[in-house]
Amino acid sequence: MGTLLIMGVACAPDNDPPLIIERPSDVSLATGFGTITVDLTGTFTDPDEDLLSLIVESSNASVVTVTVDRFIVTVTEVGNGEATITATVSDPDGDMVSTNFMVSVN
């Protein structure tokens, strides 16, 4: 009788990138609003249930600046005009997805 040799190779499953569930709404604010918060908790998901990291940027820091704590974005008034706020999430494998919303201050 012969010998039967069975070999297996373990393969890591492919990583799926994060997804946008819903784009945040644009915001129009009156001069003097000071600060507002925008909750982006339901904006993104990850099919692999990976922990996501969020960064946010303002296209026009002379209109508004932004900071983030978890998925709560604080928008702080600087002046009048428009700014695009870009929110980018990444998973531990480095896959990213971005969305944005406009902030108008008049």
The string of pLDDT tens digits covering residues 26-79 is 999 999 999 999 999 999 999 999 999 999 999 999 999 999 999 999 999 999
pLDDT for residue 10? 60
* pLDDT value at 87 more than 90: yes
pLDDT for 4 equals 66
Residue 100: what pLDDT? 98
Architecture of domain 19-105: Sandwich (2.60)
Check pLDDT > 90 for residue 13: no
Do the strands 72-77 and 64-69 form a parallel or antiparallel pair, or are they unpaired? antiparallel
How far is 82 from 80, CA to CA, in rounded Å?
7
Sketch the domain layout of the chain as residue ranges.
Answer: 19-105
